[in-house]
Amino acid sequence: MRKNWLLPLLLVSVVAGCGVRPSAVISGAPAPAGPANGAVLYFLSGGQPVRVLRPLADELPPASPVDLLAAGPDESERERRYTTEVPSGTAVLDQTPAPNGVTVTLSIGVAGLSARAVDQIVCTVRDSLGGSAQITLRGEGSVRGPLSCPLPG
């Protein structure tokens, strides 16, 4: 007897659907064109590198992500307690393809950089290149690398 009322109930449920009525196509605004105006930088949080998206003003010329990293956290990033070990004034002098990735020549000696500063630079360069290339850092006669970012991209 139980099976007799279960089948009609199931049939009514399937026919009724979920109660959502069909509608016409709802159009929205067009999708944005071009890249988002922001830079991916790796600052430190609790001593560990973290990915931070920094919005950039439309009227400013694009700066090298390493230059932005060397300038340190902005006000909102400092409020979130982000820090950096990349020395102020660090700049990219040259960036050349290498067999295993890219060689980045910096304005400072790379031998004295802390391991965290190296991670910050390598991860920032990797993301600016849009891939997982190995990065060799060169500066003031010293070389470090090839290196990979220890964080997923």
| Count, residues in the chain | 153
What digits encode the pLDDT tens for the residues 74-124?
Answer: 999 999 999 999 999 898 998 888 877 899 999 999 999 999 999 999 999
Q: What is the pLDDT of residue 28?
A: 54
Q: What is the mean pLDDT of the chain?
A: 81
Which class for 110: exposed (0-12), middle (13-18), buried (19 or more C-beta within 10 A)? buried
State the CB neighbour count (10 A cutoff) for residue 90.
Answer: 22
Q: How confident is the model at residue 5 (pLDDT cuts 50, 70, 90)?
A: low
Q: Report whether pLDDT(9) > 50.
A: yes
pTM: 0.72
Give 109's contacts (C-beta < 8 A, 6+ positions apart): 139, 140, 141, 142
